[in-house]
């Protein structure tokens, strides 16, 4: 992963944190993609939001999370490993 | 999906069910086809570092999560975008690219979009698109109607 990609990802991640209160009012329970300080895609299914966001931003990185359920989707348990 | 694209890996005990999977980078410029092991116990999917490198997935970080194995220590990980295609079902997913696994593990984040049938007795695995089910049922009803 290049330094620029990491930096851009962290910028979008930070933008999501800053916008969270507003996102909670508008998009609670939805998957949201954030790019360059703005929301570029919203939806109920993660797969659909990823596809939509890439169709808009192309090769640029973005950050994605589920509004109001960050703690739940932010944990992953692997049984096999 | 024919028999050659699914199976059970007898190297594991008990045998591990798998289905053929094609992973593609988000720009659809690179693709890798391999076995995807069906890991219904995992919240998310895992891709070996070698596959991640081949698809240049580290170019597409999307999400940060805390991961752990059973009884293991939590790890802060970044997940990467990829397209996962099984049969005709394509899912855009965020996967963990790891250097401590050597197979693709399909977790519930991907499997939730499919109807997976595992018949251990007959050693048969089927992956179908749930969207096809109502149409099939309707066709059967039509056939049965007088």
Domains of chain B: 3-144 (2.40.70.10)
With residue B138 as reference, give the H or E element that holds it.
helix B132-144
ipTM: 0.91
**Domain assignment present for A81:** no
**pLDDT number for residue A18:** 97
pLDDT means per 10 residues in chain B (146 residues)?
78 94 96 96 95 96 92 91 95 95 95 94 90 58 49
Q: Evaluate whether B64 touches B79 at the Cβ level (below 8 Å).
A: yes
- Is the Cβ pair A47, B93 closer than 8 Å? yes
- Whether A1 has a pLDDT exceeding 80, the answer reads no
**Domain assignment present for A79:** no
**pLDDT number for residue B1:** 54
**Domain assignment present for A29:** yes
Query: How far, in Å, CA of B125 to CA of B113, rounded?
Result: 16
**Domain assignment present for A30:** yes
Q: How many domains does chain A have?
A: 1
**Domain assignment present for A12:** yes
- State pLDDT tens for residues A21-59: 999 999 999 999 999 999 999 999 999 999 999 999 998
- Is the Cβ pair A76, B60 closer than 8 Å? no
**Domain assignment present for A78:** no
**pLDDT number for residue B136:** 53
Nearest to A79 among B39, B60, B96 (CB): B39
Q: What is the mean pLDDT of residues A4-30?
A: 95
Q: What percent of chain A has pLDDT over 70?
A: 94
**Domain assignment present for A61:** yes
Domain assignment of residue A19, given as a range:
3-73
Nearest to A76 among B67, B101, B113 (CB): B67
Other C-beta atoms within 10 Å of A60: how many? 15
**pLDDT number for residue B32:** 98
Query: How far, in Å, CA of A43 to CA of B71, rounded?
Result: 34
Q: If you count them, how many residues does chain B have?
A: 146
**pLDDT number for residue A81:** 52
**Domain assignment present for A53:** yes
Torsion of CA B90, B66, A42, B47, to 10 degrees: -20
**pLDDT number for residue B139:** 54
């Amino acid at each position: 992963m290049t330094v620029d990609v990491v930096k851009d990802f962290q910028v979008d991640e930070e933008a999501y944190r800053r916008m969270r209160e507003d996102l909670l009012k508008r998009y609670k329970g939805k998957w949201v993609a954030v790019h360059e300080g703005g929301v570029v895609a919203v939806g109920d299914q993660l797969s659909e939001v990823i596809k939509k966001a890439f169709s808009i931003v192309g090769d640029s990185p973005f950050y994605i999370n589920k509004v109001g359920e960050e703690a739940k989707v932010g944990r992953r348990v692997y049984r096999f490993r | 999906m024919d028999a050659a694209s699914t199976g059970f890996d007898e190297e594991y005990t008990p045998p591990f069910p798998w289905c053929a999977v094609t992973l593609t980078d988000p720009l659809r410029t690179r693709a890798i086809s391999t076995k995807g092991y069906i890991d219904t116990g995992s919240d998310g999917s895992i891709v070996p570092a070698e596959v991640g490198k081949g698809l240049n997935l580290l170019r597409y970080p999307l999400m940060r999560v805390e991961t752990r194995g059973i009884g293991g220590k939590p790890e802060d990980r970044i997940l990467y975008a990829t397209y996962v295609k099984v049969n005709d079902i394509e899912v855009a997913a965020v996967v963990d690219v790891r250097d401590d696994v050597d197979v693709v593990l399909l977790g519930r984040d991907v499997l939730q979009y499919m109807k997976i049938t595992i018949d251990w007795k007959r050693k048969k695995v089927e992956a179908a698109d749930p969207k096809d089910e109502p149409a099939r049922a309707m066709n059967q009803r039509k056939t049965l109607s007088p």
